[in-house]
């Protein structure tokens, strides 16, 4: 009898354990399915947000391009109300934060040469030398000219390698392909600006005096420290519109340098950076987009589009 009870008890215990195991598996399965379903819903929601955010951002950039086509005044300046940050509520999506930034405020590296693709423009020569004086490596400046020009003949003091692109750059980061370029020049320090603060691939060939930084202004022939400060002070009162205005309002500018730099100085921008942040208000999803617009006469088109 005891043996029978033991067997019966063990059998009952086994059934109970089996039931508990099955229940545990069912609960785990249900929990797993719920977790999977929730993740799928979140994924679908994020995908839906991404599609909407990309579409509304691209449409916004196209509208900005259309607006810039009608901007026909004689200057582009940070004093103008449309340059800066705009916040736009979008129903069923969230908030659009748009920054519109005029460019052409740096040395245009893709415009260094005359149309032959190898002769350095006279008005660029002084600024180019000044850049490499900052980094105390004039030879590097010569090698970089060989890196960029259209021919495969080394300059005096320069060099040519098989991997040199000998073409316009799509991005400043391509300069890192040059084996002799020190990584340090891509980071700013209290004493020296980063190379990316001085040069740009998105430039028309002229430097917009209404937006150029102090460091860039100091690279221009005839612009000493005092003249650079006067330019910044004067443009905060009223943007420059002509060389004659610069001569009249900037007394410290070296008048003798004007003929050498007339083709380098500008007051409008041909390139504009548009930064768009889309943020969903309920769940705080966000997406970032960046575009570069190129304005050429009455046309303004997207030259570059990036997503982060």
In which band, very low, low, confident or very high, does the pLDDT at 36 lie, cut at 50, 70 and 90? very low
How many CA atoms are closer than 13 Å to the CA of 6, on its beta-carbon side? 3
**Of 224, 216, 212, nearest to 195 (Cα)?**
216
Q: Could you report the per-residue pLDDT of 228-263, keeping only the tens digit for each?
A: 999 999 999 999 999 999 999 999 999 899 999 999
Average confidence score pLDDT of the chain: 86
Q: What is the pLDDT of residue 41?
A: 47
The three-state DSSP-derived secondary structure of the chain is: CHHHHHHHHHHHHHHHHHHHHHHHHHHHHHHHHHHHHHHHHHHHHHHHHHHHHHHHHHHHHHHHHHHHHCCCCCCCCCCCCCCEEEEEEECCCEEEEEEEEECCCCEEHHHCECCCCCCECHHHHHHHHHHHHHCCCHHHHHHHHHHHCCCCCCCCCCCCCCCCCCCCCCCHHHHHHCCCCCHHHHCCCCCCCCHHHCEECCCCCCEECCCCCHHHHCCCCCCCHHHHHHHHHHHHHCCCCCHHHHHHHCCCCCHHHHHHHCCCEECCCCEEEEEEEEECCCCCCEEEEEEEEEEECCEEEEEEEEEC
Distance CA 211, CA 268 (A): 9
Residue 90: pLDDT band (50, 70, 90) is: confident
Going by C-beta distance under 8 Å and a sequence separation of 6 or more, which residues neighbour residue 3? Answer: none
Torsion, Cα of 247, 253, 254, 260 (10° steps): -70
Question: Does the pLDDT at position 203 exceed 50?
Answer: yes
Round to whole Å and give the CA distance between 289 and 300: 18
Start-to-end CA distance of the chain, whole Å, equals: 76
Between CA 253 and CA 216 the distance in angstroms is: 15
pLDDT one-digit tens code per residue, 37-57:
555 445 555 777 888 888 888
Each residue of 180-197: pLDDT tens digit?
899 999 999 988 999 999
pLDDT of 6 over the 60 cut: no
The radius of gyration of the chain from alpha carbons, rounded to an integer in Å, stands at: 31
C-beta atoms surrounding 243 within 10 Å: 15
Residue-level pLDDT at 306: 92
pLDDT confidence of 267, banded at 50, 70, 90?
very high
Confidence of residue 14 (pLDDT cuts 50, 70, 90): very low
- As to burial, measured by CB atoms within 10 angstroms (0-12 exposed, 13-18 middle, 19+ buried), residue 191 is exposed
Read off the pLDDT band of 177 (50, 70, 90). Answer: very high
| HSE-up (13 A, CA, CB side) for residue 43 | 6
Q: How far is 128 from 58, CA to CA, in rounded Å?
A: 36
């Amino acid at each position: 009898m005891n043996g029978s009870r033991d067997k019966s008890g063990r059998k009952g215990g086994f059934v109970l354990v089996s039931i508990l195991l099955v229940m545990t598996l069912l609960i785990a399965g249900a929990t797993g399915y719920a977790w999977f379903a929730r993740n799928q819903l979140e994924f679908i929601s994020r995908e839906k947000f991404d599609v909407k955010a990309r579409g509304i951002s691209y449409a916004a950039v196209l509208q900005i391009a259309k607006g810039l086509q009608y901007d026909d005044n004689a200057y582009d300046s940070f004093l103008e109300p449309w340059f800066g940050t705009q916040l736009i509520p979008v129903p069923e999506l969230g908030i659009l934060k748009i920054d519109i930034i005029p460019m052409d405020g740096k040395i245009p590296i893709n415009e260094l040469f005359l149309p032959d693709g190898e002769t350095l423009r006279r008005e660029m020569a002084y600024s180019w030398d000044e850049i490499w004086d900052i980094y105390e490596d004039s030879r590097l400046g010569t090698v970089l000219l060989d890196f960029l020009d259209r021919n495969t003949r080394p300059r005096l003091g320069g060099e040519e390698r098989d991997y040199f692109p000998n073409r316009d750059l799509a991005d400043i980061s391509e300069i890192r392909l040059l084996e002799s370029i020190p990584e340090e020049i891509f980071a700013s320090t209290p004493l020296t600006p980063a190379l990316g603060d001085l040069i740009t691939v998105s430039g028309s060939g002229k430097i917009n005096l209404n937006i150029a930084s102090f460091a860039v202004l100091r690279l221009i022939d005839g612009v000493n420290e005092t003249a650079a400060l006067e330019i910044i002070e004067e443009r905060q009162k009223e943007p420059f519109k002509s060389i004659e205005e610069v001569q009249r309002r900037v007394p410290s500018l070296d008048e003798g340098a004007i003929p050498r730099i007339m083709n380098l100085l500008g007051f409008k921008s041909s390139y504009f950076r548009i930064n768009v942040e889309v943020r969903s208000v309920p769940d705080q999803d966000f997406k970032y987009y960046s575009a570069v617009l190129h304005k050429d006469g009455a046309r303004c088109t997207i030259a570059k589009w990036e997503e982060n």
